[in-house]
C-alpha cells in the first residue's frame, strides 16, 4: 500500500476533500483515514460528496466486472476495423 500523507492536519472541508480519493483508494495511513472519516461523518456537505464518490466508484467497478461488451458487438467492431484495413 502506498500512503499519500503530507502530514497536514484535516481542519476543514477542503482538507478532507483533498484526501477523499486517497482514502477511497486505501492509500492513507489508518490515523489519517480516521481523521478524514471523522470530518466526513460530522459534515453534511462532505458526507454527501463522499457518499456520491463512493457510489460512483462502486458503479464503475461493477461495470468493469460485467465482462465487457457482448461478443456480437465485438465481432462487428473487428469486422469494421478489418474493412478499413486497421487490423492484422
Buried-exposed string 20-36: b where 16+ CB fall within 10 A, e elsewhere: bebbbeebbeeebbebb
Structural domains in the chain (count):
1
Per the structure, the complete domain to which residue 73 belongs is given by 13-83
Q: Which CATH number belongs to the domain containing residue 79 in this structure?
A: 1.10.10
Q: Is 35 part of any domain? A: yes
> Does residue 4 belong to any structural domain of this protein?
no
Q: What is the pLDDT of residues 65-87, one digit of tens each?
A: 766 778 888 899 999 999 988 87
Q: Cell 500512503 identifies what position?
A: 3
**Model pTM greater than 0.85?**
no
**Does residue 7 fall inside a structural domain?**
no
Residue segments in the chain with a per-residue pLDDT below the cut of 70: 1-7, 66-67, 88
Contact between 78 and 87 under an 8 Å Cβ cutoff? The reply is yes
Asked whether the CA dihedral 18, 21, 24, 26 is positive or negative, the reply is negative
77, 44 Cβ separation under 8 angstroms: no
Instruction: Cell numbers for 80, please give them.
Output: 469494421
Amino acid at each position: 500500500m502506498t500512503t499519500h500523507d503530507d502530514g497536514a492536519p484535516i481542519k476543514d472541508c477542503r482538507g478532507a476533500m483533498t484526501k477523499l480519493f486517497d482514502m477511497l483508494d486505501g492509500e492513507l495511513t489508518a490515523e489519517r483515514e480516521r481523521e478524514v472519516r471523522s470530518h466526513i461523518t460530522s459534515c453534511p456537505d462532505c458526507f454527501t460528496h463522499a457518499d456520491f464518490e463512493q457510489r460512483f466508484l462502486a458503479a464503475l467497478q461493477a461495470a468493469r466486472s460485467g465482462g465487457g461488451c457482448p461478443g456480437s458487438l465485438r465481432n462487428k467492431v473487428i469486422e469494421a476495423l478489418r474493412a478499413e484495413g486497421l487490423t492484422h
